[in-house]
Amino acid sequence: LLGYEPWNDHDYLVRESRGRRIFPASPEHSLLMMKATGEIPHEGGIRMEKGEPDYETITRWIRQGMPYAPEDGPKVQRIAVFPQERVATPNSEQQLAVTAYFSDGTTKDITHMALFEANQEDMAEVDEHGHVVLKEKTGSTSVMIRFQEHVAVYRATIPLGVKMKELPKPKNFIDEQIFTKLTLLGLPPSEVCDDATFLRRVTVDIAGRLPNSEETAAFLASTEADKRAKAVDTLLDSEDYSAYFAQKWAGILRNKRAKDTYQRGTYAFHDWIRTSVKENKPFDRFVSELITASGEIGQNPAVGWFRSVKDQKEQMQDIAQVFLGIRMQCAQCHHHPYEKWSQNDYYGFTAFLSTVARKPGDQPDEEIIFHKRTAATMQNPNTKESLKPTPLGSAPLDIAPGEDPRRELASWLTSKENPWFARMLVNRYWKHFFSVGLVEPEDDMRVTNPASHPELLDDLAAHFAESGFDMKGLIRTICNSRTYQLSAVPNTHNVADAQNFSRYYPKRLQAEVLLDAINGVSKATDVFKNQPTGVRATYLPDDKFNADSYFLTVFGRPEMDSACECERVA
């Protein structure tokens, strides 16, 4: 499909359909060449002209007998782009050069063979020759370069160039990184927001509700220098915090009540999530308990995820996307177009879940999840190769049939040395509080989709891992930063800024928060089936309550069919 399996391409071109695409006696009259040059019409259109280097290369190859490259021949090990990055003026241009590095130590200019794609087309354009034209929008942009299964990225920073005055005093390393970037860009930030704005913002973001009149009056009357930090701590200790973030994770982990008989399970799973959030369970432990869960949901509610996500390939895809920020879906049928992941990577990673089995429980429609004591393997349907459990980017593991491979998966997944685990979580939470992730989309973290602030992402991830994966600690670090406390009111220079965090980016209230806010100010209540009268929408455990509330459906409460937070329409 994308040139990542040349052995298959060679077979299709030379042997498939009795070799009808190739005419060795007269290469120019081969069906392959006549379609490519437009002599015979086809849906792909004209791909090359006679006499072009590519045309001459292919006809020469046909004339030589269509040989396949020798197995011991030099192979491309990596590609590099020059320049890799540049601080450029608006409306400037840059010609990129791409070099391939081979296993025998040789190099080759492959600019004319590489594929180029701009990641932010509103900031830069690139043509098929690698010629980049930057636009006027201030910030960072990138161009993705592909050749075979290899990728590289060119990054450009486009400054506004305004002379900076005094910046807000940094409170922590977040501010140091953000303000350094703003200084480089010459992009003055907005002022720090007032107390009333801060209290409303942080209460909505942490507790999923508006501050009440008593809280607001006390906060505004306080003269304590650290009252903002104390407000953050108070909110993190509240039941509203654990309920709000439990509904966030219930959506990500697909706590869907597919049948009425599932209610016992969805309530138990939601309660396990909420208790984990309330107790500030370290994130590595939370994830380990989730993906190694066995038993019946009444005794071990964490198995609720395995009931919602039954297919092993879907389980793997959700684990990769939710906890690593790696979208493996494309690699199921072919090599990932924007990453290094192959079908072997896909099925080798799925093999960790190949021994998950289920049997009927004592309750109607309930199941017992257990480890089937067999060898953990998955077959690549294309090559028929049987693959052992393999961590992404690592070697296959030998796991005895009596051992549950999910434990090895959890150990690798949550390791502080895992390059993706901490980065994914901090980026997800950064987006929760700032509306925009350091990487967008927040769960698509790849080399060809670089962060707007890569050093900050690394520092946040390291800080989170070193804290013992402390979720509340991460939230404190974010909410106590000056960056989070900047005003949403733009100044003359940053009104168009949407990626540099020179101001706070307003966001619409989530469906549950909005409904609770309307009910609060109007002193109304909603009645949800099998819930106490007056229960707030942020406390609802599963998707079934969407059917009880037209409001929640219209304003985008997720149906919990997907692990992607994009399912929430906000």
The mean pLDDT value for 234-256 works out to 95
Mean pLDDT score across all residues of the chain: 92
Name the band, by pLDDT with cuts 50, 70 and 90, for residue 447. confident
Q: What is the pTM of this model?
A: 0.89
Overall average pLDDT of the 544-554 stretch: 86
Model pLDDT, residue 229: 97
Q: Can you read off the two tokens belonging to residue 308?
A: 């919602």
Find the DSSP H helices in 480-546.
511-522
CA distance 80 to 99: 5
Q: How much of the chain is helix, strand and coil, in % rounded to 5?
A: 40, 10, 50
DSSP strands (E only) in 293-449: 295-296, 356-360, 367-371, 378-379, 386-387
Q: What is the DSSP letter of 145?
A: E
Checking if the pLDDT of 1 tops 70, the result is: no
Question: Which of 481 and 169 is assigned the larger pLDDT?
Answer: 481
**Least confident stretch, 5-19, 275-289, 363-377, 491-505:** 5-19
User: Among the listed ranges 57-61, 186-190, 369-373, 545-549, which one has the minimum average pLDDT value?
Assistant: 545-549
- Report the distance separating Cα 149 and Cα 2, nearest Å: 9
* 558 pLDDT more than 90: no
- pLDDT at site 366: 84
Least-confidence region, from 4-8, 100-104, 440-444, 525-529? 4-8
Please state at what angle helix 195-207 crosses helix 471-479, rounded to 10 degrees: 160
What's the average model confidence in pLDDT over 169-174? 95
Query: At 335, is the pLDDT very low, low, confident or very high (cuts 50, 70, 90)?
Result: low
| Residue 112, pLDDT above cutoff 80 | yes
What pLDDT score does 257 carry? Answer: 85
Cis peptide before 401 (omega within 30 of 0): no
- Give residue 453's pLDDT: 95
Averaged over 57-71, what is the pLDDT?
A: 90
Torsion of CA 436, 442, 445, 447, to 10 degrees: -20
Look at 43 and 196; give whichever has higher pLDDT.
196
Structure tokens of 515? 């409904």
Say yes or no to pLDDT of 2 above 90. no
Is residue 570 over pLDDT 70? no
- pLDDT tops 80 at residue 449: yes
- As a CATH number, domain 76-158 is 2.60.40.1080
Residue range(s) occupied by CATH 2.60.40.1080 in the chain: 76-158
Work out the pLDDT band at 477, boundaries 50, 70, 90: very high
Give the up-direction half-sphere exposure of residue 266: CA atoms within 13 A in the CB hemisphere.
26
